[in-house]
């Protein structure tokens, strides 16, 4: 059996990871967008706007609730969902700080893989810069 590494991250990093994981599905992003435009929606309201089954929307709302991205109010038998703006502020602060530190265009970074399109046989395959010279077609070998 292998050994699993457990890294101890600070509270803010853990919170950002949890938020990003919850927002890692397009349906959940769409739900958050709907709630951002108008808070205090029920699951039924959301189902009317997103053409998915009520059970599917409920599962996505549960994931957003686990990440503390939505607030829940019970009003009789209805559950009312709204955006937790505190969590959104954490994400906004992180992204603002991160984006303000980027100075080099992605194209100029040496860590970005470049691709070249092959011509001739197997032209539909991409040739990446990490291939070995002896595997390159003769006309491109260095």
Please identify, in words, the CATH class of the domain defined by 11-94: mainly alpha
**What is the rounded CA–CA span in Å between residue 13 and residue 2?**
26
Give the global pTM. Answer: 0.65
How would residue 15 be classed by pLDDT, with cut points 50, 70 and 90?
A: confident
Question: What average pLDDT does the structure give for the chain?
Answer: 80
Task: Kindly report, as residue ranges, where domains of CATH 1.10.10.10 are found in the chain.
Answer: 11-94
Which pLDDT tens digit goes with each residue over 93-106?
988 888 888 765 65
Over the stretch 103-137, which tens digit does the pLDDT of each residue have?
656 555 555 444 454 455 655 555 555 555 565 55
Contact criterion met (CB below 8 Å) for 41 and 77: no
Q: CA of 123: how far to CAs of 114, 132, 137, in Å?
A: 17, 18, 11
């Amino acid at each position: 059996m292998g050994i699993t590494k457990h890294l101890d991250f600070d509270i803010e990093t853990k919170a950002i990871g949890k938020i990003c994981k919850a927002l890692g599905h397009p349906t959940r992003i769409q739900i958050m967008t709907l709630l951002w435009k108008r808070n205090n929606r029920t699951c039924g309201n959301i189902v009317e706007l997103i053409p998915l089954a009520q059970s599917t929307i409920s599962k996505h709302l549960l994931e957003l609730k686990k990440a503390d991205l939505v607030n829940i109010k019970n009003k009789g038998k209805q559950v009312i969902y709204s955006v937790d703006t505190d969590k959104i502020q954490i994400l906004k602060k992180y992204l603002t700080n991160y984006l303000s530190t980027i100075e080099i265009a992605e194209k100029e970074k040496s860590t970005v893989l470049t691709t070249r399109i092959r011509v001739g046989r197997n032209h539909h395959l991409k040739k990446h810069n990490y291939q070995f010279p002896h595997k390159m077609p003769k006309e491109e070998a260095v």
